[in-house]
Amino acid sequence: MAGRISESSGDLDENSEINVTPFIDVMLVLLIIFMVAAPLATVDMKVDLPQSVAKPTPRDDKPVFVTLKADLTLAIGNEEAPREAFVAELNRITGGNTETRVLLRADRLVDYGELMTVMNLIQNAGYGKIALVGLEAAPAR
């Protein structure tokens, strides 16, 4: 409880007024925090990612295409490669150069988890430059 000194008697008189300014400041800060945090917590949307309107990057002279088909078989270029021999086949085609850019394309029906499994397989083989290939779509107007 607050008190104030009386001018006439010098005694402390009880002050029953509440200072609400700090309370308002705290409430405004909390309001701002919730306004910023609320949209970040709502990420419940269905996503369809196969098309892109981004400008294509310049390709290497001899890009290496890895394809994950709908039946989950892998192909490097035009040759099918079993998963057991995939890394050896990739090293053979790239000449063991792990700086080669690997272009990964997958069928629309392939599960995202399977795509990540293939990406991890390529990364574990030492290839760090992996690009995803999608269909080019007309830009939205």
CATH number at residue 128: 3.30.420.270
The tokens of 40 are what? 């970040």
Q: For 105-134, write each residue's pLDDT tens digit.
A: 888 888 888 889 888 888 888 888 888 887
Q: Do the domain assignments include residue 40?
A: no
8-38 pLDDT, tens digit per residue, is 666 677 777 777 788 888 999 999 988 888 7
**Is residue 5 left, alpha or beta, with left meaning phi > 0 and alpha meaning psi from -120 to 50?**
beta
The most distant pair of C-alpha atoms in the chain lies apart, rounded to whole Å, by 101
Q: Which whole number is the average pLDDT over 80-108?
A: 85
The answer as to whether 38 is a domain residue is no
Question: Which DSSP category does 54 fall into?
Answer: S
**Whole-structure pTM value:** 0.53
Q: What's the pLDDT score for residue 31?
A: 92
Sign of the alpha-carbon torsion through 91, 93, 94, 95: positive
Whether 127 is in a domain gets the answer yes
Task: Check residues 139 and 93 and name the one with the higher pLDDT.
Answer: 93
Residue 94 lies in a domain: yes
**Full domain range(s) for residue 108:** 64-133
Residue 102 lies in a domain: yes
- Residue 4 inside a domain? The answer is no
Q: How many domains does the chain have?
A: 1
